[in-house]
Amino acid sequence: MKRLSPAEMASLVQQHSIASLFDTPNLPFQAFSYQRGEILSSPLNPLEHLLILVQGSVRIYLLQADGWSQVIVPETGAGPHGKLFGDLEFACGTLTPFFSEAMEDTVCIALSLAECGEQLHRDITFLHHVMRSMADKLEYTTSTGIGSTTLEDRLLALFRAVPNGILEDVEVCAQRLHCSRRQLQRVLKKLCEEGQAERTGRGQYRLTEKLP
């Protein structure tokens, strides 16, 4: 992690309209950059800042007891309103078991939770943004597991959730869907034969028709 200069921070805050996410004026923003593969937070190194993603992309995952990783939120880019990290810590006041990892060189605007927490809990505009952020994470996790019954159902839900309907890595998808690689490839082959998906590269597939 590298802290950017005040001038660089101010430019990013203005460029991405960060102040519009808050009612509270004159917040002590900072800006941090992370290299690809760098861990932003983990259970042993929890976030001390609320992070607003303005450049790059971040993935949130859970490490299971057997060493496999379960994706909680797939690779997510900055978007027009800035994606939040540290929203669970802010809202619940507790540590989380999740890891967050920069998937490419990434920049975040940061606010110290210890310094600004009390003000932010009274900031209605910001609280609405936190609710949207947590709802997005909940929507992803429920759409890829709880409401699905068969592996094909869960796979189609995952296709709907990932950017552009593209699955980048069969091995990672198998872990996320709690199945073997062979089981997943069998379902992918069926979808390809039915014309709902196509193979675009080694371990990569995309939807070829709009799903309901």
Assigned domain for 191 exists: yes
Q: What is the pLDDT of residues 140-156, one digit of tens each?
A: 666 555 444 577 877 88
Q: Does residue 45 form part of some domain?
A: yes
* 113 and 175 inside one domain: no
- The CA distances from residue 38 to 42, 95, 103, in Å, are 11, 20, 8
CA atoms within 13 A on the CB side of 150: 4
Rg (CA), the chain: 19
> What's residue 69's pLDDT?
55
DSSP labels, 11-32: HHHHHTTGGGG-SSSS---EEE
Residue ranges making up the domain that contains 26: 2-123
Q: In this structure, are residues 98 and 28 in contact, taking their beta carbons and an 8 Å threshold?
A: no
Query: Does 128 map to a domain?
Result: no
Does 65 have pLDDT greater than 90?
no
| Spatial contact of 108 and 32, defined as CB atoms under 8 Å apart | yes
7 & 112 share domain: yes
In the chain, % of residues over pLDDT 90 = 34
Domain total of the chain: 2
Given a contact cutoff of 8 angstroms between Cβ atoms, the answer to whether 162 and 200 are in contact is no
What are the pLDDT digits (tens) for 15-39?
999 999 999 999 999 999 999 889 8
For residue 12, tell me if it sits in a domain. Answer: yes
Cα distance between residue 203 and residue 170, in whole Å: 5
- pTM comes to 0.65
Same domain, 118 and 151: no
Mean pLDDT, residues 121-148: 76
